[in-house]
Structure 1
Amino acid sequence: MDLRFDGVSVVLNGKTLVDRLSLPVGSGQVVGLVGPNGSGKSTALRCVYGALKPHVGAVRLGGTDLAELGSRRAARAIAALTQESSSEFDFTVTELVELGRFPHLTGNQALTARERELCRDAMDRLDVTHLAERGVLSLSGGERQRVLIARALVQEPAVLVLDEPTNHLDVRHQIELLSMLRTLGLTVLVVLHDLNLAAAVCDRIGVLSAGSLVRAGTPAEVLTADLVREVFGVEVTVVDHPLTGDPQLLYALTSDRRSSV
């Protein structure tokens, strides 16, 4: 199912955090949002999973304004892993993953055998099955992140929204997670700080700066040395990955910076 930002603006405390954002997220595509801190990436995501409502414009799911869809239907269609995702209660890993089925249940309805199998499959996929009986509060940041992603998958959403999902993950689990995103068949909107990971996983990338969309396109179209210099203020050399052909950014510390270390 496709998702679209249609002229979305968000104003909080008199400050425009997102300014007239228009960006399509095609059905089954992985689309990344990148940009400096404070550029509006997380604010834009909050408009997708319902934590904020646009002051102007709309976020449309399959052509329907999310404001008209209703919270329950939206919760079934959109799963989100946010920077604030956490649990203050010491659920077991299995219990927390099973909570992903909540939008599909009524009352105290028990999970079906199929739903329990779905939870086991998601835990296997995220390499957390061995943690099944552990309390969530006892987990490391990386372990907890993988559990929360498993919870999102068992929701069986049409759209998956991820805000910096590689936070706390070691290199192996970063690569496994991002590789998995390519195989889900879902519409994925993801905020990433690592531009090289974004280039490797995303079909398209939108670059934000000061709340506005600077450029959108394929990684090769977007991640140019000129744009990175303009938006991020750093010098890079862009090369093609020798195996995949994806653009990869080589950063260089300035001579002044090196001499001060």
Structure 2
Amino acid sequence: MDLELDELTVVTDGQSLVRGLSLQVPDGKVLGLVGPNGSGKSTALRCVYRALRPSSGTVRVGERDLTRLPLRDSARTVAAMTQDGGVDFDFTVEEVVALGRAPHLRGNQALSGRERALCARMMDRLDIGHLAHRGVLTLSGGERQRVLLARALVQEPQILVLDEPTNHLDIRHQVDLLSLLRGSGLTVLVVLHDLNLAAAACDRLGVLSQGRLVASGTPEAVLTPQLVGDVFGVTASVVPHPLTGDPQLLYSLNSAR
């Protein structure tokens, strides 16, 4: 399912956090949002998973205005893994993952056999099956991240929205998570801070600065030394990855402008 942000603007307390943002994520593609802290990335994502209503502009899923969908329907269509999506109560891992099925259930309806198998399969895929009966408050930050992603995936959405999903993950699980996104077949909008991981994992990138879209396109087209210097304030060399050809940035610790 296509995702479109059409002239999205968010104004809070007189401050424009997002300004006229227009982006399209085609069905089954991964688009990464990158940019400095405070550039509006997370705010834009909140509009997509309906935690925030835009001041103007439209979020479309397929050809439908997201705000006109019943909440249950939008929850079945869009799943989110957020920075502040932690669990404050010591539910077990399998209980938290099963919460992803909530938009598909009525009242206290129990999970079907297919749904229990789906939860188990996704926990195994994210290397947390052995933690199924552990309380989430006993887990490391990286383990909790994988639990929250499993919860989003068992929702069986068509669109997946993720805000810094690689936080707290070791390099193996970062690569595994991003490989999963690339092979999921879902339409994915993801905020990433690591530009090299973004270049490897995303079909397209959108670069935000001070709430505005300053560049969009393939990683090869977007990640130029000029743009990285202008937007992020560092000097970088861009070289092709020796195995994949993806652009990779090399920084100097003395390169900050």
TM-score, length-scaled by structure 1: 0.97
Q: How far does residue 256 in structure 1 lie from its aligned partner after superposition?
A: 9.5
Query: Which residue of the partner structure matches residue 251 of structure 1?
Result: 251
Report whether the alignment pairs 1:172 with 2:172.
Answer: yes
The DSSP-based 3-state class of the residue aligned with 1:254 is: strand
Report whether the alignment pairs 1:199 with 2:168.
Answer: no
The DSSP-based 3-state class of the residue aligned with 2:108 is: coil
Q: How far does residue 253 in structure 1 lie from its aligned partner after superposition?
A: 1.8
Query: Which residue of the partner structure matches residue 152 of structure 1?
Result: 152
Query: Which residue of the partner structure matches residue 237 of structure 1?
Result: 237
Question: What is the alpha-carbon distance in structure 1 between the residues aligned to residue 101 and residue 90 of structure 2?
Answer: 18
The structure-2 alpha-carbon separation of the partners of 1:199 and 1:256, relative to structure 1 and needing over 3 Å to count, comes to closer
Question: What is the alpha-carbon distance in structure 2 between the residues aligned to residue 88 and residue 197 of structure 1?
Answer: 30
% of aligned pairs identical? 68
RMSD between superposed Cα atoms in Å: 1.1
Question: What is the alpha-carbon distance in structure 1 between the residues aligned to residue 163 and residue 234 of structure 2?
Answer: 23
Q: 1:4-49: per-residue Cα shift (whole Å, max 9, x none)?
A: 0000000011100000000001100000000000000000000000
Q: 1:60-96: per-residue Cα shift (whole Å, max 9, x none)?
A: 0001111111211000100000000111111000100
Question: What is the alpha-carbon distance in structure 1 between the residues aligned to residue 236 and residue 45 of structure 2?
Answer: 28
1:127-166 aligned at under 5 Å gives the runs 127-166=127-166
- Asked whether the 8 Å contact 2:235–2:255 carries over to 1, the reply is no
Question: What is the alpha-carbon distance in structure 2 between the residues aligned to residue 244 and residue 211 of structure 1?
Answer: 32
Q: How far does residue 58 in structure 1 lie from its aligned partner after superposition?
A: 0.5
Query: Which residue of the partner structure matches residue 60 of structure 1?
Result: 60
Question: What is the alpha-carbon distance in structure 1 between the residues aligned to residue 213 and residue 78 of structure 2?
Answer: 23
Q: 1:175-218: per-residue Cα shift (whole Å, max 9, x none)?
A: 00001111100000000000000000000000000000000000
For 1:187, the aligned partner's letter is T
Report whether the alignment pairs 1:77 with 2:77.
Answer: yes
Report whether the alignment pairs 1:27 with 2:57.
Answer: no
The DSSP-based 3-state class of the residue aligned with 2:183 is: coil
Unaligned residue ranges in structure 2 (runs of 5+): none
The DSSP-based 3-state class of the residue aligned with 1:207 is: strand
Unaligned residue ranges in structure 1 (runs of 5+): none
For 1:89, the aligned partner's letter is F
For 2:103, the aligned partner's letter is P
For 2:20, the aligned partner's letter is R
- Asked whether the 8 Å contact 2:234–2:255 carries over to 1, the reply is no
Question: What is the alpha-carbon distance in structure 2 between the residues aligned to residue 67 and residue 180 of structure 1?
Answer: 29
- Asked whether the 8 Å contact 2:49–2:78 carries over to 1, the reply is yes
The structure-2 alpha-carbon separation of the partners of 1:158 and 1:256, relative to structure 1 and needing over 3 Å to count, comes to closer
For 1:65, the aligned partner's letter is D
Number of residue pairs matched? 257
Q: 1:141-179: per-residue Cα shift (whole Å, max 9, x none)?
A: 000000110000000000000000000000100000001
Question: What is the alpha-carbon distance in structure 2 between the residues aligned to residue 57 and residue 97 of structure 1?
Answer: 33
